């Protein structure tokens, strides 16, 4: 069951466990200024009773943007459910077209396609799923505006599909609990595909995204005491030069909350 609560001027989609407080973190502005970035971040701390919410720039946190490659999380679930991909071992043969990012220019499987964000793989999956079925899946999981229309290009990058940071966190919380209306085995597989780093007692599952204007970094850090969910987006007026800022800001905020070990470094 999903319901909404309004706390301290911040509306959060509360799923299964309602947060009992929402803290606007104006002090995080310094980290965004340090990196010359405009953006927002939503953090839900599952290590603390009541799952408290922290947010920087709450108005922007409710604003919808293109999900870009963060959509690969949901997209993989749809592809598995539709049967257009069988498992993480299925190979997608490279078509020989040289693309900007070198990691895209080779055969892929689900694990590598997620890791390097291989757009061409997901364009194939989108063609196989079809927009009508994709729209149905998006409505079923209550993902952003569920709009798959586009004049050209991929609907999750160049089209009308849009989602807010707070909605991203709601989606991630349901995925973490295997509470999406899709097969549990597929949810478990996708969570395995998005593992980025791990330590003795923690796991970081995350995904980046970029549509040329807005950069995302979102996911959660699992601890024995509970998960810490986060969704960050920033403007990227300097395009590629701004991309590293997503993780740099996000990791700094997570470290400040002891949600990520202090010796971890953002990757460019």
- How many independent structural domains does the chain possess? 1
Give 4's strand partners: 13
Q: What is the pLDDT of residue 262?
A: 80
* Cα–Cα dist 85/67, whole Å: 22
3-state secondary structure of 254: helix
- For the question of whether the overall pTM of this predicted structure is more than 0.75, the answer is yes
- Residue 137: inside a domain: no
- C-alpha pair distances (Å), 159 with each of 52, 132, 146, 184, 216: 34, 15, 11, 29, 17
Contact between residue 19 and residue 7 where contact means Cβ atoms under 8 Å apart:
yes
* Cα–Cα dist 52/42, whole Å: 11
Q: State the catalytic residues.
A: 69
What H or E segment, with its residue span, contains residue 148? none
- Residue 185: inside a domain: yes
- Residue 136: inside a domain: no
Q: What is the pLDDT of residues 152-185, one digit of tens each?
A: 999 999 999 999 999 999 999 999 999 999 999 9
Q: What is the pLDDT of residue 28?
A: 98
Q: What is the pLDDT of residues 49-66, one digit of tens each?
A: 999 999 999 999 999 999
Structure tokens at 187: 């949810």
List of E strands, 33-177: 39-45, 53-56
- Domain span at 28: 2-79+150-256
- Residue 97: inside a domain: no
- Residue 106: inside a domain: no
Q: What is the pLDDT of residue 263?
A: 60
Contact between residue 250 and residue 265 where contact means Cβ atoms under 8 Å apart:
no
Structure tokens at 51: 């799952």
CATH code at position 230: 3.40.710.10
pLDDT for 6 beyond 60: no
Structure tokens at 96: 């020989």
- Residue 134: inside a domain: no
- Residue 206: inside a domain: yes
Q: What is the pLDDT of residues 83-118, one digit of tens each?
A: 999 999 999 999 999 998 899 999 999 999 999 999
* Cα–Cα dist 206/201, whole Å: 17
Contact between residue 265 and residue 248 where contact means Cβ atoms under 8 Å apart:
no
* Cα–Cα dist 179/218, whole Å: 19
- Residue 95: inside a domain: no
């Amino acid at each position: 069951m999903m319901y909404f609560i309004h706390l301290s001027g911040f509306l959060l989609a509360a799923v299964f466990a309602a947060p009992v407080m929402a803290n606007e973190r104006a002090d995080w502005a310094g980290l965004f200024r340090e990196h010359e970035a405009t953006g927002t971040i939503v953090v839900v701390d599952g290590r603390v009773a009541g799952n408290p919410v922290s947010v920087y720039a709450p108005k922007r946190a409710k604003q919808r943007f293109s999900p870009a490659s963060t959509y690969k999380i949901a997209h993989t679930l749809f592809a598995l459910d539709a049967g257009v991909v069988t498992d993480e071992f299925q190979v997608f043969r490279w078509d020989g077209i040289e693309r900007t990012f070198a990691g895209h220019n080779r055969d892929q499987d689900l694990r590598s396609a997620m890791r390097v964000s291989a757009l061409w793989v997901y364009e194939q999956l989108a063609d196989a799923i079809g927009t009508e079925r994709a729209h149905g899946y998006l409505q079923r999981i209550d993902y952003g505006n569920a709009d798959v229309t586009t004049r050209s290009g991929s609907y999750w990058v160049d089209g009308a599909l849009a989602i807010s940071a707070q909605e991203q966190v709601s989606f991630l919380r349901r995925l973490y609990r295997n509470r999406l209306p899709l097969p549990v085995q597929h949810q478990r597989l996708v969570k395995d595909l998005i593992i980025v780093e791990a330590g003795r007692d923690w796991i970081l599952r995350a995904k980046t995204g970029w549509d040329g204007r807005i950069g995302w970094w979102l996911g959660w850090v699992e601890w024995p005491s509970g998960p810490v969910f986060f969704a960050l987006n920033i403007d990227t007026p300097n395009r590629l030069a701004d991309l590293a800022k997503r993780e740099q800001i996000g990791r700094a905020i997570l470290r400040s909350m002891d949600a990520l070990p202090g010796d971890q470094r953002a990757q460019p």
